[in-house]
Amino acid sequence: MTFKSTIDDRYFEDYVKGAIHEFGRYEVTEAEVIDFASRYDPQDFHTDPQAAAKTVFGGVIASGWHTCGMMMRMYADHYLTKVASLASPGLDALRWIMPVRPGDVLSVRVTIEEAVPSKSKPDRGVVTSFIETLNQNGQVVMSMRAVNMVARRR
């Protein structure tokens, strides 16, 4: 499904319950996997190709936190409004389902589960989205549920 409005003119009313949006293309490189993990998640299966080859993964895999970052880049570039995003109070049910490996090409599928106008602040609504990050084979590698506050059209 495609939004009827551009990301520069997208408001709460454009996030329709039940809509499914697919977007993005992010190619994972070994250098980026190692750099991220060296800085933030320095486990051998993320940082050392020789040591990683001896693990159950059989090679270097991306940190789950790195996968979150790659997903977030696509989510911000294609899904979140550029003019009406009012931040997020958080996320739930984050799951790293399959390893992400150098050479994988990731994309995102978002299902809008709820879009509820705020009762206390009528200038906004709350959008709950189920987010799946997919590899090039269409396999879900990560999923989570996010809540975003979005301004309404005036």
The answer to whether residue 137 is domain-embedded is: yes
Rounding to the nearest 10 degrees, give the CA dihedral for residues 30, 145, 98, 107. -50
The answer to whether residue 117 is domain-embedded is: yes
Q: The tokens 């989510």 sit on which residue?
A: 75
Position 83 scores a pLDDT of 97
Q: The tokens 């005036």 sit on which residue?
A: 154
What gap in Å lies between CA 77 and CA 127, rounded to an integer?
A: 17
The answer to whether residue 42 is domain-embedded is: yes
pLDDT tens-digit profile, the chain (154 residues): 789 999 999 999 999 999 999 999 999 999 999 999 999 999 999 999 999 999 999 999 999 999 999 999 999 999 999 999 999 999 999 999 999 999 999 999 999 999 999 999 999 999 999 999 999 999 999 999 999 999 999 8
Rounding to the nearest 10 degrees, give the CA dihedral for residues 1, 71, 130, 144. 170
Q: Please give the tally of structural domains in the chain.
A: 1
DSSP code per residue over the chain: ---SS-GGG--GGGS-TT-EEEEEEEE--HHHHHHHHHHH---HHHH-HHHHHTSTTSS----HHHHHHHHHHHHHHHTS-SSSB----EEEEEEE-S---TT-EEEEEEEEEEEEE-SS-TTEEEEEEEEEEE-TTS-EEEEEEEEEEEEPP-
The 10 Å Cβ neighbour count of residue 134 is: 21
Q: Provide the residue range defining the domain that includes 114.
A: 7-151
The answer to whether residue 134 is domain-embedded is: yes
Position 112 scores a pLDDT of 98
Position 9 scores a pLDDT of 96
The answer to whether residue 2 is domain-embedded is: no
Position 154 scores a pLDDT of 81
The answer to whether residue 1 is domain-embedded is: no
The answer to whether residue 132 is domain-embedded is: yes
What gap in Å lies between CA 47 and CA 33, rounded to an integer?
A: 7
The answer to whether residue 106 is domain-embedded is: yes
pTM as predicted: 0.95
Give which of 137, 107, 125, 128 is closest to 26, Cα–Cα.
107
**For position 58, which CATH number holds?**
3.10.129.10
